[in-house]
Structure 1
C-alpha cells in the first residue's frame, strides 16, 4: 500500500543578515560618493564659499580694510546703481557683448558654409581651415599685445590705410574715446569667431542631404533652402552658442585690461574692469562686492535661459 505524504510547505528559514554583510552593503553604496567627494569639496571651497563671502561683503561697509565692519544693508547696491561709471560700464558691456555675439554668429556661419560647400577642393578647404582657426590658437595676452601694435598710430593698420588713401594721418584707435570701444569689439570678434565657425560647421555636416534634395525637387532656390532647411536645422546650435557667447563675452576682462584698461575716459569700461578697479585701485571692497553680485545675477539670467533651452532641446 502506497502512502501519500503531504508536500512540505514550511517557509524556508529567513536569511540572517550579519553585521559584516551590512557593513559591506553600506560600503558599496558609499563608494560613488567617495569618488565624488574630492570634486564636491573643490566646488564648495573654490566656488560656494567665495560666493557666500562676496555676498556677505556686499551688505557691509569697510570690509577687509578695517577689522570691524558695519552692516550697511543695501547702501552699497544703491551706491553702485547710481554711480555714473557703473552705468557707463553697463552700457559699454551691453554694446560690447551684443555686437560681438551677432558678428560671431554671422562670420562663423559664413565661414562654416564656405568650408562645407562642394565648390572647393579638399586641399583648399584644409588651407582655409588652418587660416580661419589661427585666431583661436592665441591666448588673450598675445592677442592684446599683437593688436596694440597693429592699431598703434604708427602701426600696420594705419600704414595700410594711409597707403590706400583712406586716412591722411595715423589714427589712435585705442586712445580715441569715439573709436576705442569699437576697436576692442573688433579685436574680440576677430579672436572669438573660430569657435562659432567650428560648432556651426559640425552642425552643417550633420544635416541630411535628403532634406536639400527634397527641397530642390520642390523647385526652391539656394536662399530658400538656406532659410527653410539650413537655419531650422542649425537653430539648436545657434541658440546654445549665442547664449554661451553672451555669458563668456560679458566676463571678458583680460582683453580690455591689456589693451585700454577701461579708458580712455571710461570709453571701454566694462563691468569686469569696473569691479576690479573698485576693489584693487580704490580699495572699496564692499562696493566691488555689490558690483560683483549684480554681475552674478545678470549672468545667472543668461545661464537660466541656456539651461532652459538645453532642456527643451
Structure 2
C-alpha cells in the first residue's frame, strides 16, 4: 500500500534546513563573537582615548590655524601665520636651547649616577642589610612629589639656605649666592634638581637588568682572563644596552616635557634663563592670552615628541 504525502507535509519537508546547517550557523556566530570580543574589551579604552586625547589634539591643531581663538567669537582662518610668529620669536629659540641643555644634561647624568648606584647595590661585597638600607636611601628622591621637591630645593638653595651655608663654611663661595635668581646659575640649578629627583628611575631599571645577567657569562670571561674593566665592557654593557637605550629615550621624552619643576622653582626666569618649551607655551596661553599662538607652539612640541616616540617604538620593535 503506497503512502501518500499531503501538500502541507511536502512544504514542511522542502522548508526543513539541510543536515548540518544549524551547526554551520553556530560556528559562524561563534567565530564572529571571538573576533569582536577583543574589540569589546578595548572599546572603553578607545572611547577614553578619543575623548581625552584625540579630540583635544584635533582642537589644538584647529586653534593653531585661527586668529585670536577663544577670545574672539568669530576667529578668522590665518593658516600658518601663528607658526611663523612662533618660529620668528627669539624667546622660542631660547626655550629650545634651554630645553636641549636641560634634557641632555639630565639624561646623561641620570644614566651615570643610576648605573653607578646600580652597580654598587648589585655588588657581592655589600651585605644584604647594607644593600637594603642604601636601596631605601637612594630611592627616596623618587618618592617625593614635584611640589615637595621644588619647595625643598628652593629652601635649600636660598641665600640663607643650607647649601650656601655649607659652601660658605668651606670657603668655596661667599655664602650668599642666588642660585635660582641668578641668570648664570639658574639653569644649572634646576638641572641639578631634576637630576637629583630623577636618577632612581635609571637606578632601579639598571639594577633589575644587572640581576638578570647570567653568572655564566662572568665566569666564562674570568676563565678567558678578563679583568673587572674588561668584564664590564664586554659583558655588562652589551647585556644592558637594550635597557639603556629604552630608558634613555623614555627619560628624554619625559624631561623635554618637564613643566611643574621649572614653573615652581624659577617660573622660566630670570630673564628667560630657564625658559623651556613647556613654560614658553604656558605663558603664551595663560599670561599673554595668545591661545592661537600657544596652540601653534603646542603643535610644534607635539611633533618633536612624536619624533622621539617614533624612535622609541622602533627600538622596541627591533628589540622584540
The residue number in structure 2 matching 1:255 is 261
Written as runs of structure 1 = structure 2, the 5 A alignment for 1:192-207 is 192-207=198-213
Partner of 1:55: 61
- Superposed counterparts of 1:25-174, under 5 Å: 26-27=32-33, 29-174=35-180
Instruction: Report the CA distance shift for 1:114/1:19 in structure 2 as closer, same or farther (over 3 A).
Output: closer
Alignment gaps of 5+ in structure 1: 1-11
SS in 1 for 2:279: helix
TM-score by length of 2: 0.91
TM-score, with structure 1 as normaliser: 0.93
- Tell me how far apart the structure 2 counterparts of residues 25 and 234 of structure 1 sit (CA, whole Å): 43
User: Residue in 1 aligned with 2:220?
Assistant: 214
Unaligned runs of 5+ in 2: 1-16
The equivalent of 1:3 in structure 2 is none
Give the superposition deviation at 1:19: 12
Instruction: Give 2:287's aligned residue.
Output: 281
Deviation at 1:168, TM superposition (A): 1.9
**1:231-289 CA-partner distances (Å, limit 9, x unpaired):** 00000000000000000000100000000000000000010000000001101011101
Secondary structure at the residue paired with 1:173?
coil
Deviation at 1:141, TM superposition (A): 0.5
**Further displaced range: 163-172 or 302-311:** 163-172
Displacement of 1:28 in angstroms is 5.4
Match of 1:223 in 2: 229
Distance 2:128 2:203 in 1: 17
What's the CA shift string for 1:167-214, capped at 9, x where partnerless? 123110000000000000000000000010000000001111111111
Cα displacement (A) at 1:14: 3.5
| Equivalent-residue separation in structure 2 for 1:87 and 1:139 (angstroms) | 30
Whole-Å Cα distance in 1 between the matches of residues 255 and 147 of structure 2? Answer: 16
What CA deviation, in whole Å up to 9, does each residue of 1:38-89 have, x standing for no partner? 1110000000000011011111111111011111111111110110111100
Q: Does 1:236 align with 2:236?
A: no
Q: Give me the whole-angstrom Cα distance separating, in 1, the residues matched to 2:29 and 2:213.
A: 53
Quick one: distance in 1 between partners of 2:192 and 2:78?
41
Q: Distance in 2 between matches of 1:140 and 1:125?
A: 27
What is the Cα deviation at residue 32 of structure 1? 2.9
Question: Aligned-pair distance for 1:35?
Answer: 2.0
How far apart, CA to CA, are the structure 2 residues paired with 1:280 and 1:19?
Answer: 63
Aligned-pair Cα RMSD in Å: 1.7
Instruction: Kindly tell me the number of residue pairs found equivalent between the two proteins.
Output: 302
What is the alpha-carbon distance in structure 2 between the residues aligned to residue 32 and residue 198 of structure 1? 34
Helix, strand or coil for the counterpart of 2:21?
coil
User: 1:27 deviation in Å?
Assistant: 5.0
- Work out the CA distance in 1 between the residues paired with 2:317 and 2:102: 28
Q: Residue 21 of structure 2 corresponds to which residue in structure 1?
A: 16
